Structure 1
Amino acid sequence: MAQKENQKQTGIKALCHTIAHNPYFKNFIIAMIILNAIVIGMETYPALYQPFKTGFYLIEKIFIIIFTIEIIIRITGSRPSWEFFRDGWNLFDFFIVASSLALAGGHFVSVLRILRILRVLRTISIIPSLQRMISALLATIPAMGNIAFLLGLLFYVFSVMGTIFFGHISPEYFGSIHITLLTLFQVVTLESWASGVMRPLLEESPWAWLYFVTFILMGTFIIINLFIGVIVNNMQEAQTEAEECKRQLETQALRQEIAELRVLILALGQNRAPGSSENS
């Protein structure tokens, strides 16, 4: 009896494992996540939400049931079950579903539910080129930290200078350090910095152009380009590593095929040896 029960549990676990790793199942869940996000967006329009409030409530319950069944299938299909909780994305999904069940009917849960759309980012692993891009971006974090620190020093120095030079002329842009920092952020993006910020200052400070041109040359054309250079360099390195890994896998596959052919040839030779001696 216990053996039959174990076999039954093993069969259910195998079935859940098959369903959880089925591409159609994953595509269906992704479609439900996107549809749920669309429904949540529609709820922000009172003209749509108020007349059909009951319908939206029932649709929300259906989504919660679907996502709960999905989590149960994935946990049951994991081998072993606790392996499910070793993945950060799985923990995120479990937290969202558990919060939906515990806080059903609350308003904050809508914010939590919308975060489930981040699971769509897992499709990045399906496309190798995007996967290499994300790996390259993550690899640039240490180098970006140094460049960001240098950019922060540049912003701070120029914000102090801008506050001292132009604070009394244009307090709405240079009235304090934090206001000047926001203004410099607008300037470094090259968005309306000339007509909106610099030219009004030229009427009282004709030399103000030197301040802005120097900051743009150092901030935009040098430091920002350092960010781009680091990212491009790491992407090239990631692509080179991927190609090298592919060549190694192909070499290993060829070696394995050659070894199998050798074993097959030796086996054929041993089988023919007795027959040739008998014929002689």
Structure 2
Amino acid sequence: MELIKTFVMSPKFNRLITYLIIINAILIGLETSPQLYTQYHSFFVTIDMIILAIFTIEVALKIIVLKKAFFQNSWNIFDFIIVIGSVILYSTPFVSVLRIFRVLRVFRTITTVPTLRRIVAALFMAIPTISSVLLIMAIIFYVYAVIGTSFYREISPEYFGDLFLSTVTLFQIFTLESWASGIFRPIFDQAPSSWFYFISFIIITTFIMINLIVGEIVNNAQKISDSVEEETEEIKKDTHEIKELRKEIQEIKQLLISKEKHRP
């Protein structure tokens, strides 16, 4: 059992799984080409079955080694659902659902790369703050949609004809996609004061609010990195102490051997 645990938890085994995930992702991408898929259908199916079999064995071995502890880790549960879902649906007629599970296997890269896990963890930690920011943004969108509909409905009915169209238009402006030439300029020609409406909206939503979200995620990522560094430092200290203890034990052994030699 200890040998299996050492093998499953080894960096080499994790690297192998990561490479297989990348290969699987490339194959899924290649399968979207009808010509390639038709020509090499048997090859794609065989490789996919082999990779799925390895993933299944990996999960099974981890469950055997970790037992209940396996399901206490959310990343392990994520892996388990994807792999088991792929296995159960493989020989069923639910092809579209199976394709979703096969594509989801690509997300397993996150579980095998520590830096990606930290980024995702930072994103989840930021959800409460992001939710508050999104609520503020929703209020801002609503207020600006009402103002835009009231002032520019007659000038540009295709963009500000009603509340829904105004909201969609504001989302396009928020993404900065063709907002100046397509939306702003025609309205500005008839309503010169509209520059304040558009520019204030862009500054508030695109620059300020998005920076708040990014800043929160970066802040959480830094907290996680600091925590990892602290844990690493503690491990280094413990390792140093163990080395010192071994050295002292070795010196004591040498003294005892020396005394035994000089004893009459």
Instruction: Using structure 1 for the length normalisation, give the TM-score.
Output: 0.74
Residue 113 of structure 1, CA deviation: 1.4
1:170-185 → structure 2 map (5 Å cutoff): 170-185=156-171
- In our comparison, the structure showing a higher alpha carbon Rg is 1
Gaps spanning 5+ residues in structure 1: where?
1-12
SS for the counterpart of 1:85 is helix
Aligned match for 2:19, one of 12, 17, 31: 31
Aligned twin of 1:6 = none
Contact 2:18 2:112 in 1 (8 A): no
Partner of 1:10: none
Aligned to 2:47: 59
Match 1:42 to one of 20, 30, 41:
30
1:29-72, Cα deviation, whole Å (9 max, x unpaired): 22222222222222221111223333333333333333333333
SS of match in other structure, 1:161: helix
2:4 is aligned to: 16
Q: Secondary structure at the match of 1:206?
A: coil
CA distance in 2, matches of 1:167, 1:222: 27
Aligned equivalents of 1:239 and 1:26: distance in 2? 21
The one-letter code matched in structure 2 to 1:110 is R
Please list every run of 5 or more consecutive structure 2 residues that lacks an aligned counterpart in the other structure.
Answer: none
Q: Post-superposition shift, 1:258? A: 7.0
Query: Structure 2 counterpart of 1:167, which letter?
Result: R
State yes or no: 1:121 paired with 2:78.
no
Indicate if the aligned counterparts of 1:160 and 1:177 stay in contact, CA closer than 8 A: yes
Deviation, 1:186, is: 2.2
Quote the offset at 1:134 in angstroms. Answer: 4.5
Aligned residue-pair number = 261
- Report how far residue 226 of structure 1 moved: 2.5
CA distances 1:135-176 after superposition (whole Å, capped 9, x unpaired)? 444333322222222122111100111122223332332233
Deviation of the 1:210 alpha carbon? 1.8
Please name the residue that 1:98 is paired with: 84
Whole-angstrom distance in 1 between the partners of 2:42 and 2:215: 54
- Offset at 1:115? 0.7
Is the 1:40–1:110 Cα contact (8 Å) retained in structure 2? no
Aligned to 1:140: 126
User: TM-score scaled by structure 2?
Assistant: 0.78
* Cα offsets for 1:231-252 (capped at 9, x unmatched): 4444444455555555555566
CA contact (8 A) 2:146 2:163 kept: yes
